[in-house]
Amino acid sequence: MRRLLSFEAVNLLTNKSQLTRSTLAAFCLAALVAGGVAFAQDQASETIFLKRFKTEESQRLIGLYQANFEKYKTSERDFYLAKAQYQQINTLASLESAVVSTRQVMVDRADVLIVYEELLAASLVDSTGAELSMKQDTLAELQSQIGELKAHKEVILAAQDRAAVYRAGIDFSLLVPELSATAYETLSQIVIADVQRVYDKTVTYYADLKKAQAEIEISPLKAEERKRAYGETDALMASIGDNLDLIRGSVTAKNQRVDHSSYTEIARSLSSAHAQLSQAMDFLNELERGGRSEI
């Protein structure tokens, strides 16, 4: 499965991006620096499964993303070749070639990031467990940033010399912090929504199970066993709900933006909540089997 791009703050070292296979998306961000195009590779486990995109529009965006990314990889190779040639022979012709290839890789980078943000928005729209007001605010931010990236692309296309291309690169670097924060906030809302949806369905199933079992006459001993089982399940479900509230609060806090470190912590906490949900389902399966044996 192809991995998608995300946003990671870029240092001033020139690193070659390396894409490794995974069912999860991994994220990298290209940015122009003084010597050329730099990459920072984020190796953390990120999200956005390609399989989550099932609508016709999402499938169109995936196809466009893949085509744009292939084009970007080609222009990236051309950029490094042109850069190496200019550093080797240092002629006006090689300089012109380097400027042209730099402009092209920046245009292709913008195209990839534009579609990536559109995919983020599509995924967030489809996340039924996301908190509505924050979801709406984030969608507005994504649309604004898509507009900024499109405007940035037009600036690059209009750049005709090395100085203009360099200025466009500097302008792009100013966009990076907000692009990064919004991306990680979107991803956080998506993964929280996925677990919240499972939790909500579990709560509904548990309520239905208790209602159905309340109509079954059982012995006092069985009633005591069931009461104890309900108590354990109630405590576990309350703990899961509290944990989800805390995780969601870390995203909605107004005094900080989500970054790679806090997103990693959110993913770790959600993994724990998911394990608790698995335990809760085991409890409910036991209760359901016990109810059948009493009929």
Structure confidence at residue 224 (pLDDT): 92
The position carrying tokens 């995300």 is 6
> Minimum mean pLDDT among 7-21, 47-61, 197-211, 260-274: which range?
7-21
Q: Is the pLDDT of residue 235 over 90?
A: yes
Q: For tokens 């969601």, what's the residue?
A: 248
215-232 pLDDT tens trace:
888 888 988 999 999 999
Q: What is the mean pLDDT of residues 236-262?
A: 87
Of 19 and 104, the structure prediction assigns the larger pLDDT to: 104
The confidence score (pLDDT) of residue 228 equals: 92
Residue 278 CB: number of other CB atoms within 10 A? 10
The band of 55, judged by pLDDT with boundaries at 50, 70 and 90, is confident
* Percentage of the chain exceeding pLDDT 70: 79
pLDDT for the residue numbered 46: 37
Q: How many CB atoms lie within 10 A of CB 39?
A: 18
- Most confidently modeled of 13-17, 200-204, 254-258, 259-263? 200-204
Q: Please answer whether residues 229 and 282 qualify as being in contact, where contact means their C-beta atoms are separated by less than 8 angstroms.
A: no
Task: Please tell me the least confidently modeled range out of 25-39, 146-160, 167-181.
Answer: 25-39
Question: What letters, b where the CB count within 10 A reaches 16 and e where it falls short, cover 162-190?
Answer: eeebbebbeebeebeeebbbbbbbbbbbb
pLDDT at position 259 over 50: yes
Listed by start position, the domains of the chain span 27-179, 194-293
Q: Which residue has the tokens 């104890």?
A: 228
Contact between 126 and 56 under an 8 Å Cβ cutoff? The reply is no
User: How much is the pLDDT for 140?
Assistant: 96
Averaged confidence pLDDT in the chain: 79
Q: Give SS3 for 277.
A: helix
pLDDT tens profile 111-141: 999 999 999 999 898 888 888 888 999 999 9
> Cβ(251)–Cβ(188) under 8 Å?
yes
The confidence score (pLDDT) of residue 25 equals: 25
Backbone dihedral angles phi then psi of residue 112, each to the nearest 5 degrees: -65, -45
